[in-house]
Structure 1
Amino acid sequence: MQLSNSEEQLMQILWKQKRAYMKDLIEAYDDPKPATTTVATLLKRMQDKKFVDYTQNGRSREYFPLVKKKDYFSKHVNGLIKNFFNDSASQFASFFTQETNLSKKELEELKSIIDQQIKRK
């Protein structure tokens, strides 16, 4: 299951805040802030997709994520590799390193991360 761009934007806020009431979520948006009804609709859709849930405190709902940010983006990246790079991590890595204008230092950091993963396997 995937989030729309507006749902993903709201999810980013919720991941950062961990638990939040509607007013906290709206406050986190840049101006112009979305209408309460818009955020409520997004939250309902995200709840239906099992990305968020809430606890009822009096008349207010405190929302929290059901999906970890890391898990969501891991699935996203794996889908990207599968759909756009013929399920080839090396094709993805080649594209990523050539098209993102990484500095030599950033490339060296990536190489170090990969070397560490190789040692672990």
Structure 2
Amino acid sequence: MKLSEAEEVLMNYLWEMKTAFMRDLLNAYPEPKPAPTTVATLLKRIIEKGFIGYKEYGNSREYHPLVSKEDYFSTHVNGLIKNFFNNSVAQFASFFTTQTSLSEKELETLRGIIDTEIQKKKK
């Protein structure tokens, strides 16, 4: 299941905070802040999708992520590779390196990451 853009923004705040009450999440937004009802609606939808849990303290709820940021984005990157790049990591890598404005330094860093992973797999 995928989150909408607005839901991802809210999840990013919660991933960063680890746990938060509604006021904490509202305070995380830059000005102009969304209405509390908007954030409440987003929370309700994200809870229904199974990404957020909460503990109740009287009338307050303390929210926490049920899915890690890494797991969420890993699932979606893998889906992107499957759906848009014929399940080919090579096609994805080719697109990523040619269609984005990566500098030579960024490409070198990327190569270093890949070389390190290759060495780990050889062990």
Q: What's the counterpart of residue 44 of structure 2? A: 44
Question: What is the Cα deviation at residue 58 of structure 1?
Answer: 2.4
Structure 1 residues 105-116: aligned runs within 5 Å: 105-116=105-116
SS at match of 1:24: helix
Q: How many residues align?
A: 121
**TM-score using structure 1 length:** 0.96
SS at match of 1:54: strand
Question: What is the Cα deviation at residue 105 of structure 1?
Answer: 1.1
Equivalent-residue separation in structure 1 for 2:82 and 2:25 (angstroms)? 34
Q: What's the counterpart of residue 19 of structure 2? A: 19
Listed one character per residue, the Cα deviations across residues 1-60 of structure 1 (whole Å, up to 9, x for unaligned) are 110111111001100111001011011111111111111111111111110011112221
The alignment's C-alpha RMSD in Å is: 0.8
Q: What's the counterpart of residue 118 of structure 2? A: 118
Equivalent-residue separation in structure 2 for 1:31 and 1:76 (angstroms)? 30
Equivalent-residue separation in structure 2 for 1:64 and 1:5 (angstroms)? 19
Percent of aligned pairs sharing the same letter: 64
Equivalent-residue separation in structure 2 for 1:6 and 1:116 (angstroms)? 35
Q: 5+ unaligned residues in a row in structure 2: which ranges?
A: none
Q: What's the counterpart of residue 29 of structure 1? A: 29
Question: What is the Cα deviation at residue 120 of structure 1?
Answer: 1.4
Equivalent-residue separation in structure 1 for 2:34 and 2:18 (angstroms)? 20
